[in-house]
Every structure is written in C-alpha cells, then in structure tokens.
C-alpha cells in the first residue's frame, strides 16, 4: 500500500531551485498509474508545467497532457468494466488569477457581464494588489474545488489533485489564508467558501510534501517549513530529496581522500598505460612533472567529491531526524524530458509515495 492511501490533494512545495515543479509532475504521473486520473495544478503563473512537458502554454482550462500505460511504472494493471486494460490520465491546469476572480464573482455574485466590465477598467489588478491574500484564496479555492468535484456518475472526477505550490517560505500562509479570510467575513458566500476550502486542506485527504536537495540551505528551509506547517496545524506529508547523485568513491576512499596519494595514483595511471612510471630516489618514487599534471587535478576532484559525500551524509541525517517518510530521486543527466518524468514517477511509485 502507498504511504498516502486516501489522500486526494497533494501539495508540493520546496525552496526555489530544488525542482519542485518536476517532482509535482512526476508525482502526478505516479498517482495516475493503475488507470487513475490526476490533475496537476500550477498556481504561480510561470507555465512551468507546459515547459516541462514540451507543450504550448496552458490556457485556463483543464487539459490532458500525459498518459500512463498499464504497467508502465511497475504498477498492477487496471481493467475497465469489459476487462480492457485502462491507462492513467494526467490533466493540467494553470490558474489565471484574473479569470479565476471573474469565475468567483460569477459563481457567488452572479455579475455576468458586469464582471467582464470590471476587468476592462482594471478592477481585477486593483483588487489583487490591495488585497494580496485574495490571490491565495482564489488559488487554493480552485484546487479544492477540483478535489470535491464529481462527474455525471456521482464519483469524484479526479482520483488525486497535485498542486505545484509556492516555495516553502510562504506555503503555510498560502494554505492558511482562508482561515484569516473566514475570520474577517463572519457570514455570506466568502465565509462559506473559505470554510469549505479549509475543511479540505485540514482533512486527512490533504498532505503537504516538501522537496529538498542534500544541501545546507534547502535542508534547513525544509526543517523550518515542517515546523511552520505543524505550528499552523496543517497536514505534513513526506520529504522528497531530489537530484541525488550516486557516490563515486567507496567508504574507504572517502575517508582516505585527504591523504597524499600522488605516488599511488601515478603508479596506477602508469599501469593503465597513462603517463610515465615514477622513478625511485631517496626511498620515494619521483613522479615525473608531466604525470603530476595529470595526478593533481584528479586528486583535487577526489577530495571535492569526498567532501560532498560527507556533507550530504550530514544533510540526510537532518532530513531523517524529521521522522517523516522520505523518498529519493536521482539526478538525471542532461535534464528532464518526458522519459525522465516517467523514470522519476516510477521511482516514487516504487518507494511508496504513490
């Protein structure tokens, strides 16, 4: 069973540069396995999802952007009513603030053409500028509406919704904004909407995952983010460590990296047919200058790699101290394409994140 069985809204946050959009997309694909349908929601108006999937800019509507064939991620095959194998589907939505506000005004105040007129006179920009929290209300409200929405058959339209959320430093306030709004508006449609959104966000159906790298600043921001979420009473999910590089040196080599291994490496290179063999003199082998030029950069790289391995070990221990489910995704050489997303989704699936 996956770690988050029963969760329907997966909020993905992380420090800038950790690859949270990539992780959110991979998680949406992993959750779409076994014939399920997921919605990937972008809230920062960067069109990062479109760029990641190599498609045109997404309009303000839900569009299918990918499919997951049965068994593609190592999942068990799902069959429809007639026994046919079903493929999973990933839909995407890039929320446009202006259109979301017009939709909101029409839904609760039936403004119709008047709402469009407000857009022409610049009211939308004015409203979101003087009330910056309004943006977060609209964004969280749209995602939670997708979680609750049902199809003609009465079943939930999406099995899961994945939100590519703002960075860790402001995700707690972003998710908690409806509580503040509900505190200001004690009755009416705004109050009712805010209460409905917070019921979803604070329910067992929601989890907030944090993405990090094995580096000091992202890990510290993750630790702080977990503390903020817990203090706000928001549901903390797992920690996804992204771009993990495999160690090149074994444990003994890492520990010995700081020593002087010029002679040993020169002999090893000579045995491999690279460079001249060091000559003997005064009890030590004299490394030729040409060979030394090959050896010294290699030793410097080895020391640098060993230092990184030790630093990553410390950061991994800090992540594990959070006592949360933790998943690791490999660094993909050459960047992330659609094939890379499938690979990352399979890794999340295999580790129990979906």
DSSP classification of residue 15 = -
Give pLDDT, residue 82.
Answer: 43
Give pLDDT, residue 270.
Answer: 72
Domains belonging to the chain, first-starting first, are 9-245+331-350 (3.40.50.300), 251-308 (no CATH)
Between 22-36, 103-117, 213-227, the lowest mean confidence (pLDDT) is in 103-117
Which tokens is 312 given?
A: 């990553």
Report which of residues 210 and 313 the model is more confident about.
Answer: 210
CA distances from 84 to 11, 68, 79, 87, 176 (A): 32, 15, 5, 10, 43
Confidence label for 130 from pLDDT (cuts 50, 70 and 90): very low
* Model confidence pLDDT, tens digit, residues 60-115: 999 999 999 988 887 554 455 444 478 999 999 999 887 887 787 676 655 555 55
Confidence label for 126 from pLDDT (cuts 50, 70 and 90): very low
Q: In the predicted model, what is the mean pLDDT of residues 174-180?
A: 81
Q: In the predicted model, what is the mean pLDDT of residues 231-249?
A: 92
Give pLDDT, residue 264.
Answer: 73
Q: In the predicted model, what is the mean pLDDT of residues 31-46?
A: 94
Between 11-15, 77-81, 253-257, 268-272, the lowest mean confidence (pLDDT) is in 77-81
- Rounded CA separation 177/179 (Å): 5
Average confidence score pLDDT of the chain? 84
Between 154-168, 209-223, 248-262, 300-314, the lowest mean confidence (pLDDT) is in 248-262
Give pLDDT, residue 285.
Answer: 62
Between 116-125, 157-166, 179-188, 217-226, the lowest mean confidence (pLDDT) is in 116-125
Give pLDDT, residue 112.
Answer: 56
- Rounded CA separation 127/123 (Å): 6
Strands 88-94 and 279-281: unpaired
Report which of residues 156 and 292 the model is more confident about.
Answer: 156
Strands 63-68 and 88-94: antiparallel
- Rounded CA separation 277/288 (Å): 8
Give pLDDT, residue 194.
Answer: 78
Handedness of CA 98, 103, 105, 111 (dihedral sign): positive
Give me the DSSP letters along 306-349: HHHHHHHHHHHHHHHTT-S-EEEEEPPTT---HHHHHHHHHHHH
Q: In the predicted model, what is the mean pLDDT of residues 12-25?
A: 97
In terms of C-beta density within 10 A (0-12 exposed, 13-18 middle, 19 or more buried), how is residue 258 classed? exposed
Q: Is 20 left (phi over 0), alpha (psi -120 to 50) or beta?
A: alpha
Residue 185 has pLDDT above 80, yes or no: no
Give pLDDT, residue 186.
Answer: 60
- List the one residue out of 224, 216, 221, 218 whose CA is nearest residue 242: 218
Between 78-87, 154-163, 230-239, the lowest mean confidence (pLDDT) is in 78-87
* Model confidence pLDDT, tens digit, residues 304-315: 888 888 889 999
Residues written for the chain: 354
Sequence-distant (6+) residues with CB within 8 A of 239 are 209, 210, 211, 212, 222, 226, 319, 322, 324, 325, 326, 327
Confidence label for 143 from pLDDT (cuts 50, 70 and 90): very high
Stretch (H or E) spanning 238: strand 236-244
Give pLDDT, residue 302.
Answer: 80
- Rounded CA separation 254/160 (Å): 43
């Amino acid at each position: 069973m996956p770690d988050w069985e029963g969760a329907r809204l997966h909020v993905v946050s992380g420090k800038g540069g950790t690859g949270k959009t990539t992780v959110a997309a991979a998680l949406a694909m992993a959750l779409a396995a076994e014939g399920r349908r997921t919605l990937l929601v972008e809230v920062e108006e960067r069109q990062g999802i479109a760029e990641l999937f190599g498609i045109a800019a997404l309009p303000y509507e839900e569009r299918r952007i990918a499919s997951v064939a049965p068994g593609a991620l190592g999942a068990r095959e799902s069959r429809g009513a007639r026994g046919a194998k079903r493929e999973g589907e990933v839909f995407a939505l890039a929320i446009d603030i202006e259109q979301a506000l017009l939709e909101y005004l029409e839904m609760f105040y039936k403004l119709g053409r008047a709402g469009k007129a407000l857009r022409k006179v610049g009211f939308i920009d004015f409203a979101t500028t003087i009330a910056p929290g309004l943006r977060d209300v609209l964004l969280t409200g749209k995602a939670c509406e997708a979680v609750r929405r049902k199809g003609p058959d009465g079943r939930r339209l999406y099995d899961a919704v994945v939100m590519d959320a703002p960075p860790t430093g402001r995700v707690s306030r972003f998710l908690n904004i409806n509580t503040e709004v509900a505190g200001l508006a004690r009755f009416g449609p705004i109050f009712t909407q805010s209460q409905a959104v917070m019921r979803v966000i604070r329910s067992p159906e929601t989890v907030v995952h944090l993405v990090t790298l094995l580096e000091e600043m992202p890990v510290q921001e993750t630790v702080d983010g977990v503390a903020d979420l817990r203090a706000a009473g928001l549901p903390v999910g797992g920690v996804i460590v992204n771009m993990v590089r495999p160690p090149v040196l074994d444990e003994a080599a890492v520990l010995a990296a700081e020593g002087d291994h010029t002679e040993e490496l020169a002999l090893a290179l000579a045995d491999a047919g690279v460079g001249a063999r060091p000559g003997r003199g005064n009890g030590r082998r004299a490394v030729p200058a040409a060979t030394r030029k090959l050896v010294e950069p290699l030793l410097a790289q080895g020391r640098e790699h060993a230092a990184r391995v030790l630093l990553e070990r410390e950061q991994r221990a800090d992540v594990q101290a959070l006592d949360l489910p933790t998943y690791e995704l490999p660094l993909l050489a050459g960047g992330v394409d659609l094939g890379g997303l499938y690979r990352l989704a399979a890794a999340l699936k295999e580790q129990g994140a979906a």
